[in-house]
Structure 1
Amino acid sequence: MAAVLDRGWPLSTTTSTTYGAVLVVLTIGQVVLSLGAKLVYNLYFHPLAAYPGPLLARCSRLWYTNALVRGNLPFVVHQAHEKYGEIVRIAPDELAYIDARAWKDIYGPRPGRHEIPKDPNFYLNTSVGDVSIIGADSVRHGKLRRLLSHGFSERALQDQVPIIQDYVDLFIARLRVLSKKPEPVDIVTWYNFFTFDVIGDLAFAESFGCLETSKYHPWIDFMFEVIVGGTYKRAADHYPLVGRLMKLLTPERVKQGVAAHLALMKHKAMHRLELKTDRLDFMTRMAAPDSGLTPEEFIASADTILLGGSETTATLLSGITYYLLKHPAVLDKLVEEIRTKFSSEEEIDLVSVNTLDYMLACLNETFRLYPPVPGALPRRTVVGEALAGSYVPPNTTVAIYHWAMYRTGRHFKRPLEYLPERWLKESWFEEDDRSVMQSFSYGPRNCIGRNLAYVEMRLLLARMLFSFDIEATPAIEGWLDQKVYLLWQKPPLWIKLKPRDVKLRPQVVKLLEQSEQPSAT
């Protein structure tokens, strides 16, 4: 027999099949044993083994990834916090926090120590990667933020308010025309038109033309596909062996949307880079010849400003409209405040809207119950850290989920109810820990556009509720049943508008007169 084998004669078919079957069994057994050992290690011997959480989350990434791709992650994390406490293990190497101390410990300034770096799985799986202001390391971030700060300064904001008012005028004029028709209005669409036009003007010195044409710019259609595409990439990165397959399963429309978005962004940003203007806007210092920015950094930062300065503001405006319509007593109280304060549209400006205390309370309560970014902005430890009173080893992802932080009874009384009065410091809510609400994030990486966002929201909301009576339609029921892929996947919000007989701004009157003129043929 040995001689036969030495001459290279083949084994019999039966013997070959047997050997093959044994090899398959051994391979499967090895994989099963390896996986089993990994699961046992994650459950009992991992440095995070002492932290509580769902069983599947503690032993594997399946719990996390399943919720991520289904658009349910913030909601299931909230449920986990309600069951397991203030620090929850949501993956073998990841912790979520609703302990109030975590804001400072994870995101706050750290004198004498480096900041906890951003989690690369989250920030590198965006259309702009690590060259934008949100993905840059701490040193580069500081430089980019200093350049951007000129466009968000008090002086710049004063210059920008007249531009914002022009778009509010156009918004009001368009809605007054629509309000004469019997059909309801999808106010989500019109809020998006407004915020994208404003950010287009303030970042690129030209509007997207949404309010003018009553149509979405193609860029806006592509943008959400970019966000969903980043979610698929994040999920794939957790499974290197099947990552290629998961990427192949990414819907074709998402791939095409990402490619189209990048092409449009590059074109728009390079046009702004070459534009000569004396106006102080968001990109003025970044576009200066001595800025030191590469074209890639300029394009990436422009992309970040577009998304951060438009979609999130439109989301909050949509949310507050929904909650006001679902709570008529709150709507009546806010309307009374606005209409008692002002007798004409001209009186509603940057200074006067700051006196609307109840409006601010309503906005804050909407931020709490419907945060524009309901999920987390995760960090990744490099060394061992003491976070919220507990030791966290290196290479651990740590984060605060806004949805979970703001909806827990640990911080707010009657946490699931829409109660703006809690922000007026009435005694019944004195035990609420309002400091945990950091809607624009916390620390040196917080959102630079906070003041601008409040100006836009206050001006637009005050003008709309002064000029119109708004009513709900049956179609708003279930509006909050939304998916989250970093941002909310918002459905239409159909409302009815009844124009009031009020003294309009001259610009609005002029726009209305123009809309009534017959088109040239």
Structure 2
Amino acid sequence: MVSVFQIPDHINIPLIGAACATLYIVWTLFYRLFLDPLRDIPGPFLWRYTSLPRLYHVVKGDLHTKVRELHDQYGPIIRTTPYEVIFNDPQAWKDIYGHRVGDASEIEKWMPFYKPNTDLPDNLLICDRADHSVIRRQLSHAFSDKSMREQEELIKGYVELLIKRLHENADNGKAPLNMREWYNWTTFDVIGDLGFGSSFGCLENSGYHPWIKLITSTFRENSIFQTLGHLGLNPLVKYLFRWNVMAKNNKDSLNLVAETLDERIKSGRERPDLIDSLVKKKDDLGLDFGKLVSNANLLIVAGSETTATLLCGATYLLTTNPHALAKVTEEVRSSFSSDEEITLTSVGKLRYMLACLNESLRQYPPVTSDLPRRIPKGGATIVGKFLPEGTICSIFQWAINYDRRWWKDPYRFAPERWLDDPEYVHDRRDAMQPFSHGPRNCIGKNLAYAEMRLILAKILFNFDMALDESSRNWTEDQRSFTVWEKPPLYVYLTPRFQEIGVGGK
């Protein structure tokens, strides 16, 4: 008896499969060339046909430089996948990330990038608009200028400990110090205390806490997860998390956050730290323990790694530009007669130092990747270009920060461009948005600037800096997985007050 499901011998299954594959390729090619509503937006053909080239550069860690090259070749509006359009125009920050004209809503985030694993709890970065407004409102006081002044003694204590440790290890400028480590230890200790009521002990022990090693190693994992999200393979990301495959660092890090947060809640401590308002009102806000953990993890990562990265970039750029280093050092030392005078408030008068930090943010933005948004129903116009519903759009910080249309001599480190120097009068300073733009911009901007200014001012007041030759080409060929994968940054620190003690006492 012959089964009704038996395939006749004369049917060639491999040939049929090959024919179907060929038909699919030909149809997709025809659609991309003649029917796709994005067909008139330029870019390399293979990039417009498939997302694989983009994802290759994500995994390689050089997508930021590749996008800049594509803008140079194809112009300010390019396609990097069949469904993604990248803009390189200051107006795009407002059109993509700001409130829509005549509409109170915003262009929503594209979740396959921000949350490739849909099993994970939401946090401030990835929650919907309504929850974002509520959570941000609760956190806003903790990140205000007033709150930073309330936390000044705490922050100042860690910065003073940093200066003490640098004096102990600088060997009177004879041995270079790896400033990448010292900046990381400082910012993680500060955010640990601000977030959980206790530091990681990095400065005290002059070494990394195991948690920090986990955090810094999760960025590459997350790049892989985002790549799978781009391919529509979100179920695979869930599998990797559930079975601890390629997700061990992420899971271990979240477990440590959960343990630390649990201790923080059980202690019942009353202190105005960053997480306090969420803990107190978790029931009213509908935040279960998983969402508290997710938000705490976000605060720790975003409040430490990016600040340390910018300080590394500023140190490298200043030590490779002696004129700027001399000028900012003179500004700091002429403004204060003792170390104790340097506070979160008093550093506000250091205009040239702030210009140096802003120029460092331009040339070495801590977050290099795009922040993709999804065009809503009915489409939207971005910089005069109508995009249909479902299109993914964004801006690359690295690319727009080096565009000659917006910056004179973009490869030149010129703090003067932030001080209304006539030479740079045509610079579009609004092209640089290191903390993003609009209602979802970085809530930690005040904290970041407060830490950066205080740390850099105290180092410049106490030490003469000189770059070790081994770090002369520190920025060359650095890879980026959302944030930079930084090599050691070796700097000689020669104390100013070898005879009379720290701070000129």
TM-score category by the smaller chain?
over 0.9
For 2:51, the equivalent position in structure 1 comes to: 61
Letter in 2 for 1:318: C
* 8 Å contact from structure 2 (residues 202, 209) kept in 1: yes
Q: Hey, what's the Cα distance between the residues in 1 that align with 2:293 and 2:419?
A: 42
Q: Hey, what's the Cα distance between the residues in 1 that align with 2:394 and 2:305?
A: 22
2:489 corresponds to 1:487: no
For 1:171, the equivalent position in structure 2 comes to: 162
2:143 corresponds to 1:147: no
What does the per-residue CA deviation read over 1:427-463, in whole Å, with 9 as the maximum and x for residues that have no partner?
1110001111111111111111111111101111010
For 2:335, the equivalent position in structure 1 comes to: 341
Change (3 A) 1:199 1:451: same
2:368 corresponds to 1:374: yes
Pick aligned residue for 2:18 from 28, 40, 51 = 28
Q: Hey, what's the Cα distance between the residues in 1 that align with 2:117 and 2:459?
A: 35
* 8 Å contact from structure 2 (residues 223, 481) kept in 1: yes
In structure 1, list runs of 5 or more residues that go unmatched.
1-5, 510-521
- Matches of residues 173-192 of structure 1 in structure 2 within 5 Å? 173-180=164-171, 182-192=174-184
Give, in angstroms, the shift of residue 128 of structure 1.
8.6
Give, in angstroms, the shift of residue 222 of structure 1.
1.0
SS in 1 for 2:154: helix
Paired residue total: 496
Q: Which moved more, 1:479-488 or 1:217-226?
A: 217-226
SS in 1 for 2:27: helix
Q: Which moved more, 1:306-315 or 1:130-139?
A: 130-139
Letter in 2 for 1:501: F
Q: Hey, what's the Cα distance between the residues in 1 that align with 2:271 and 2:409?
A: 47
For 1:515, the equivalent position in structure 2 comes to: none
Change (3 A) 1:52 1:441: same
SS in 1 for 2:125: coil
Give, in angstroms, the shift of residue 294 of structure 1.
1.6
2:415 corresponds to 1:420: yes
Change (3 A) 1:241 1:213: closer
% same residue: 38
- Matches of residues 274-353 of structure 1 in structure 2 within 5 Å? 274-289=266-281, 291-292=284-285, 293-353=287-347
2:150 corresponds to 1:159: yes
What does the per-residue CA deviation read over 1:354-410, in whole Å, with 9 as the maximum and x for residues that have no partner?
111110110010000100111111111122001111100001111011101111011
SS in 2 for 1:101: helix
Change (3 A) 1:63 1:247: farther
Change (3 A) 1:7 1:161: closer
- TM-score (normalizing by structure 2): 0.93
Change (3 A) 1:79 1:215: same
Q: Hey, what's the Cα distance between the residues in 2 that align with 1:243 and 1:201?
A: 36
For 1:272, the equivalent position in structure 2 comes to: 264
Give, in angstroms, the shift of residue 417 of structure 1.
1.1
Change (3 A) 1:233 1:241: closer
Q: Hey, what's the Cα distance between the residues in 2 that align with 1:504 and 1:47?
A: 69
For 1:99, the equivalent position in structure 2 comes to: 89
* 8 Å contact from structure 1 (residues 43, 49) kept in 2: yes
For 2:382, the equivalent position in structure 1 comes to: 387
Letter in 1 for 2:340: E
Give, in angstroms, the shift of residue 496 of structure 1.
1.1
SS in 2 for 1:221: helix
Q: Hey, what's the Cα distance between the residues in 2 that align with 1:301 and 1:244?
A: 24
CA RMSD of aligned residues (A): 2.6
Pick aligned residue for 1:408 from 403, 411, 416 = 403
Change (3 A) 1:422 1:240: closer
Q: Hey, what's the Cα distance between the residues in 2 that align with 1:158 and 1:264?
A: 29
* 8 Å contact from structure 1 (residues 373, 487) kept in 2: yes
SS in 2 for 1:306: helix
Give, in angstroms, the shift of residue 82 of structure 1.
1.2
* 8 Å contact from structure 2 (residues 116, 228) kept in 1: no
Give, in angstroms, the shift of residue 351 of structure 1.
2.0
2:77 corresponds to 1:83: no
Change (3 A) 1:403 1:209: same
Change (3 A) 1:126 1:166: farther
For 1:399, the equivalent position in structure 2 comes to: 394
Give, in angstroms, the shift of residue 272 of structure 1.
2.2
SS in 1 for 2:276: coil
Q: Hey, what's the Cα distance between the residues in 2 that align with 1:341 and 1:193?
A: 28
Give, in angstroms, the shift of residue 54 of structure 1.
1.4
Q: Hey, what's the Cα distance between the residues in 2 that align with 1:270 and 1:245?
A: 27
Letter in 2 for 1:157: M
Give, in angstroms, the shift of residue 155 of structure 1.
2.7
Change (3 A) 1:350 1:410: same
For 1:517, the equivalent position in structure 2 comes to: none
Change (3 A) 1:416 1:74: same
Q: Hey, what's the Cα distance between the residues in 1 that align with 2:299 and 2:108?
A: 21
Question: Hey, which bits of structure 1, 4+ residues long, moved more than 6 A?
Answer: 245-248
In structure 2, list runs of 5 or more residues that go unmatched.
none
For 1:3, the equivalent position in structure 2 comes to: none
2:351 corresponds to 1:361: no
- TM-score (normalizing by structure 1): 0.90
Q: Hey, what's the Cα distance between the residues in 2 that align with 1:421 and 1:154?
A: 26
For 1:514, the equivalent position in structure 2 comes to: none
Q: Hey, what's the Cα distance between the residues in 1 that align with 2:234 and 2:155?
A: 48
2:188 corresponds to 1:219: no
Q: Hey, what's the Cα distance between the residues in 1 that align with 2:348 and 2:238?
A: 49
* 8 Å contact from structure 1 (residues 171, 211) kept in 2: yes
For 1:236, the equivalent position in structure 2 comes to: 228
Pick aligned residue for 1:206 from 173, 198, 222 = 198
Letter in 2 for 1:370: Y
SS in 2 for 1:27: helix
Q: Hey, what's the Cα distance between the residues in 1 that align with 2:33 and 2:238?
A: 26
* 8 Å contact from structure 1 (residues 127, 230) kept in 2: no
* 8 Å contact from structure 2 (residues 331, 352) kept in 1: yes
Change (3 A) 1:185 1:394: same
Give, in angstroms, the shift of residue 236 of structure 1.
1.9
Give, in angstroms, the shift of residue 492 of structure 1.
0.4
Give, in angstroms, the shift of residue 154 of structure 1.
2.9
2:50 corresponds to 1:50: no
SS in 1 for 2:279: coil
2:427 corresponds to 1:432: yes
Q: Which moved more, 1:305-314 or 1:58-67?
A: 58-67
